[in-house]
Structure 1
């Protein structure tokens, strides 16, 4: 089967390579010409324009977008639409808001195009391990694209599925990322507590390796944590600054709208926001209040 991929970052390139190895034709475009040249060198087709990407695909075409959420998705679709034909399919494999996805699906359908949303997890390890894919959209295009999903997944019948109508794939991926926030925060807090217990002189690398086998808290995330600790046990040279992709926020907003209590995911998001504050005002406010009511000492900078 043929697939066009727009956005040849690490994940997009690895997806293209996994598809090529499975025998699929891949045509890729990126504004970074080094990325397109690398794709060509590995046996796929790297092109320098969207026009060339479309020309190198036979109808009905399928184009997978691996671009940042928001306006970049809309802009890319707007540039592609005049080049494509009715019956062609857009696949948004990025972390788009599911509400935007539902709007794009309706707009595409009105013009005769198919639109599929695919929440994609696997990061830089997807080439080797396969990708977990949560697919939303109409039944017909999803069935037609099944060989693509099977090739990208860990196995043909594992790690992917058609989870519902338009927007469902991105909604499930949003919740997936919210859960990821909570898991990461729990691991981080646990290891921080053990590091703070200096009298026991705990070896965090050893403990992470013990937990990897047989423990209730074992996971792939723990495996990655153990590998990272081996490389840098003291986390030297790193700042306590944690960005967020936006999906944790969307998960919290949805929980509020649905009257679902989600304190762990919410607090993990707040902790990420707080990590970006240098000498944050909130903590300084608490310090002066403690000083006012109890005479507690204030630590000067």
Structure 2
């Protein structure tokens, strides 16, 4: 299969590398020529514009068609991995003149599900909203992919999803347009609450009656305890690398958009989500020094390699 990838940041490069490793061909483009050049070094074909991505995919599709009529070939397959918001709409506006109803476009970023519904309705191609979880660790392990959109388009992209995800069990079609990003939105709300719970537990251990080695606690909990998880492994990593008191990790937790969307949707649907709301409020209120928020700050680096905010 030939795949066009637009957006070659951390996550986009992982998509490129895993698709190439599975034996597929990639046409890669990024606004930063150095990012495109790095993808070429991994085996991708360079494009110098979004239009060029489509032209090169058209060439490949035409060559793979039976006989002389390229119209019988499958359409273009394009994966966007650009920041949510205006960047997605701008990328789409540049893609749309080159798209037909045989083509498939995947939005692998953290778009709001309502934006994905709007884009699916106006896009000439089949539009798949693909919630993507796993962070930079996905380079080796693969991602978890939550996909919304037409079933035929999902099935057409299955070889690529198998490559990018942890395997066939690491992706599924959630439902119609918007459902993939809806599920990812709720996933992120759950993530906020889990981070807050670990943070509060370790804060009590840190300030409690005993002088504890929190790296040791995290390691012990993560070997057979009910609350073992990857986030708990990242707690162990944080205490090992920063120290039990978290060193100069600041009490400031960035992010918040997907958690806000989750809480807004919960209010709309009249579903109580007090834990997610409180975790979101803690992020917005990260002004007074709290050990729990300092750990959440460091955990965001662990799973997403987001910058660690540090004290002056």
The 8 Å contact of residues 256 and 280 in structure 2, kept in 1 or not, is answered as no
C-alpha distance in 2, partners of 1:221/1:167? 27
Q: How many residues align?
A: 273
Render the CA deviation track for 1:67-112: whole Å, top value 9, x for unaligned.
111111111100111133342121111000000111111111xxx3
- Corresponding position of 2:226: 216
C-alpha distance in 2, partners of 1:220/1:202? 21
The 8 Å contact of residues 5 and 63 in structure 1, kept in 2 or not, is answered as yes
Render the CA deviation track for 1:272-301: whole Å, top value 9, x for unaligned.
0011x479xxxxxxxxxxxxxxxxxxxxxx
The 8 Å contact of residues 2 and 25 in structure 1, kept in 2 or not, is answered as yes
Question: How far is the alpha carbon of 1:124 from its aligned partner?
Answer: 0.3
Matched, 1:250 2:269: no
Matched, 1:230 2:245: no
| Bigger CA radius of gyration | 1
- Corresponding position of 2:144: 132
C-alpha distance in 2, partners of 1:18/1:184? 29
- Corresponding position of 1:190: 201
The 8 Å contact of residues 15 and 126 in structure 1, kept in 2 or not, is answered as no
Q: Give the alignment partner of residue 203 of structure 1, picking from 200, 204, 213.
A: 213
Render the CA deviation track for 1:119-154: whole Å, top value 9, x for unaligned.
010110111111100010011111111111111121
Render the CA deviation track for 1:219-238: whole Å, top value 9, x for unaligned.
01111221122111132222
Q: Secondary structure at the match of 1:57?
A: helix
C-alpha distance in 2, partners of 1:123/1:26? 21
Q: Gaps (5+ residues) in structure 1?
A: 280-301
C-alpha distance in 2, partners of 1:119/1:83? 25
- Corresponding position of 1:49: 49
The 8 Å contact of residues 215 and 235 in structure 2, kept in 1 or not, is answered as no
Matched, 1:164 2:185: no
- Corresponding position of 1:20: 20
Q: Secondary structure at the match of 2:57?
A: coil
Q: Secondary structure at the match of 1:133?
A: strand
C-alpha distance in 1, partners of 2:251/2:28? 36
Alignment of 1:68-83 (within 5 A): 68-83=83-98
C-alpha distance in 2, partners of 1:227/1:123? 16
Q: Secondary structure at the match of 1:56?
A: helix
TM value normalised by structure 1: 0.88
- Corresponding position of 2:36: 36
* Larger mean Cα displacement after TM superposition, 52-61 or 185-194: 52-61
C-alpha distance in 2, partners of 1:25/1:11? 18
TM value normalised by structure 2: 0.85
- Corresponding position of 2:252: 241
Alignment of 1:137-152 (within 5 A): 137-152=149-164
Q: Gaps (5+ residues) in structure 2?
A: 62-74, 290-312
Matched, 1:6 2:17: no
* Larger mean Cα displacement after TM superposition, 55-64 or 200-209: 55-64
Render the CA deviation track for 1:185-225: whole Å, top value 9, x for unaligned.
0011111111112x411110000000111000000111122
C-alpha distance in 2, partners of 1:161/1:85? 25
C-alpha distance in 2, partners of 1:54/1:68? 20
The 8 Å contact of residues 29 and 36 in structure 1, kept in 2 or not, is answered as yes
